[in-house]
């Protein structure tokens, strides 16, 4: 949900006295904890219905835990929870003592209009044509800053003809997204197999991948048959979808807005006749499982893994003859391996989860099984020693 620029001003003017009464000093003296509603983490171990239930329970429990922080010492800890007005968030919040602040749609539209006018004022669009944009964009945005931003990008392209862009301006995000996906693919020169793999990773990975990890995947697999070094592959990842994807401060990749994920996975549309193909769970997870297995087979990490310092096992005790130096050597080797092969840890740990998710709808596992046969016939017993060992517990 886009933030309203006037929120802080409204608070200072005392419009929300229930939030600030008797607590303004303590708010400034202590840290304000701002958290976003968790989107849920795919487990890869259940079918779609069970996965949705797990996500809902995860959200409810997380909301309870976050709220407990504010209720623990309300004079010292201030918790701000932002979310769209969806039942899975609203229902648990009703049981928690809290102040609910709803953004007024009319004020949001006014903020969008201000944003459009401010952006146009800094542009080279002729003054005589700016009113065409200010009259069209805010009304079609339907309260979404993202639509306004993406629509303005089309008008601000070098050499863009305002009347022509206006006549082709989609009515909503679901019509805008396929145009942007196609535009950025063509503009960047990225072929469809590469862009598809990037979008599959962004929407269905077991955990968010870092830019370096996805870059490594593209570089090793070469989905379009083109050989690239890490630098070129990183440029491809950054450019393939334009502003639809962003790199977060922790270097993980994310969609620009929840509605883009919902569009790609088919939650907000019934068919794909006029848009980008829906990324169905089973085939997508199957492709990602195969991508992980191909990475393990093609990156060279298995050859390096064969040099893992051997550890002695015993039926009664896990590591009876290990000494601190053995453990340090073992863990140091694995650390160097992960640095050399950034995607190794994700691929080795998570290909089984992707396989399980792809099996939910009885999806064919022929290609996956073929890759598994290659993997386990390639002296992969070393994979069992991929975990670091605790120097004190030996586990």
* Residue-averaged pLDDT of the chain: 78
Distance CA 371, CA 221 (A): 14
Q: Which of 1-15, 22-36, 191-205, 233-247 has the lowest mean pLDDT?
A: 22-36
Confidence at residue 68, expressed as pLDDT on a 0 to 100 scale: 84
pTM tops 0.85: no
Is 70 exceeded by the pLDDT of residue 372?
Answer: yes
How many Cβ atoms are within 10 Å of 196's Cβ, its own excluded?
Answer: 19
Give SS3 for 245. strand
Q: How far apart are CA 241 and CA 180, in angstroms?
A: 8
| pLDDT higher than threshold 50 for residue 327 | yes
pLDDT > 70? residue 149: yes
pLDDT at residue 317 is higher than 80: no
Report which of residues 110 and 40 the model is more confident about: 110
Choose among 272, 263, 285, 347: nearest CA to 48.
285
Name which residue leads in pLDDT, 195 or 43.
Answer: 195
pLDDT at 78 over 70: yes
Task: Provide the 3-class DSSP secondary structure of residue 199.
Answer: helix
Q: What pLDDT was estimated at residue 271?
A: 72
Q: At what angle do helices 281-298 and 366-376 cross, to 10 degrees?
A: 20
Q: How far apart are CA 325 and CA 329, in angstroms?
A: 6
What local confidence, expressed as pLDDT, does residue 3 receive? 44
Compute CA 1 distance to the chain's CA centroid, rounded to the nearest angstrom: 16
Query: Per-residue pLDDT for 340 more than 70?
Result: yes
Q: How confident is the model at residue 182 (pLDDT cuts 50, 70, 90)?
A: very high
| Residue 375 predicted with pLDDT over 90 | no
pLDDT bin (cut points 50, 70, 90) of residue 379 is: low
Q: What pLDDT is recorded for position 33? A: 41
Q: Tokens representing 34? A: 């701002």
Q: What are phi and psi of 253, to 5 degrees?
A: -95, 145
CATH code for residues 176-264? 1.10.10
In this model, does residue 64 exceed pLDDT 50?
yes
Strands 32-36 and 78-82: parallel
* pLDDT higher than 50, residue 128: yes
Lowest mean pLDDT among 28-42, 231-245, 256-270: 28-42
What does the pLDDT average to over 379-383?
A: 53
Eight-class DSSP state of 243: G
pLDDT at 159: 86
HSE-up (13 A, CA, CB side) for residue 324: 1
């Amino acid at each position: 949900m886009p933030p309203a620029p006037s929120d802080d001003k409204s608070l200072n003017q005392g419009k929300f006295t229930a939030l600030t009464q008797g607590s303004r000093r303590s708010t400034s003296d202590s840290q304000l904890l701002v958290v976003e509603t968790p989107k849920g983490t795919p487990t890869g171990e259940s079918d779609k219905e069970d996965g949705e239930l797990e996500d809902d329970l995860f959200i409810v429990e997380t909301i309870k835990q976050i709220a407990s922080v504010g209720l623990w010492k309300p004079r010292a800890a201030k918790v701000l929870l932002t979310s769209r007005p969806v039942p899975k968030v609203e229902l648990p919040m009703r049981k928690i003592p809290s102040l609910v602040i709803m953004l007024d749609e009319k004020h949001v539209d006014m903020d969008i209009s201000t944003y459009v006018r401010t952006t146009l004022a800094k542009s080279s669009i002729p003054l005589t044509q700016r009113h065409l944009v200010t009259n069209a964009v805010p009304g079609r945005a339907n309260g979404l800053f993202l639509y306004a931003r993406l629509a303005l990008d089309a008008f601000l392209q070098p050499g863009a003809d305002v009347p022509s862009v206006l006549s082709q301006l989609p009515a909503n995000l679901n019509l805008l997204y396929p145009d942007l996906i196609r535009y950025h693919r063509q503009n960047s020169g990225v072929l469809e197999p590469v862009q598809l793999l990037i979008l599959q990773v962004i929407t269905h990975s077991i955990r968010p991948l870092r830019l370096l990890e996805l870059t490594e995947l593209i570089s090793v697999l070469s989905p379009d048959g083109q050989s690239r070094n890490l630098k070129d592959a990183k440029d491809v990842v950054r450019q393939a979808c334009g502003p639809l994807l962003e790199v977060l401060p922790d270097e993980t990749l994310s969609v620009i807005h929840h509605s883009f994920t919902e569009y790609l996975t088919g939650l907000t549309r019934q068919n794909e006749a006029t848009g980008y193909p829906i990324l169905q769970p089973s085939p997508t997870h199957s492709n990602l499982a195969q991508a992980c297995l191909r990475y393990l087979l093609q990156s060279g990490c298995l050859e390096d893994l064969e040099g893992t310092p051997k550890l002695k096992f015993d039926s009664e005790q896990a590591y009876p003859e290990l000494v601190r130096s053995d453990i340090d050597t073992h863990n140091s080797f694995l650390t160097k391996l992960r640095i050399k092969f950034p995607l190794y840890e994700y691929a080795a740990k998570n290909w089984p989860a992707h396989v399980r998710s792809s099996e939910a709808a009885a999806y064919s596992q022929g290609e996956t099984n073929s890759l598994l046969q290659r993997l386990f016939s390639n002296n992969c017993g070393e994979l069992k020693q991929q975990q670091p060992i605790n120097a004190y517990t030996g586990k």
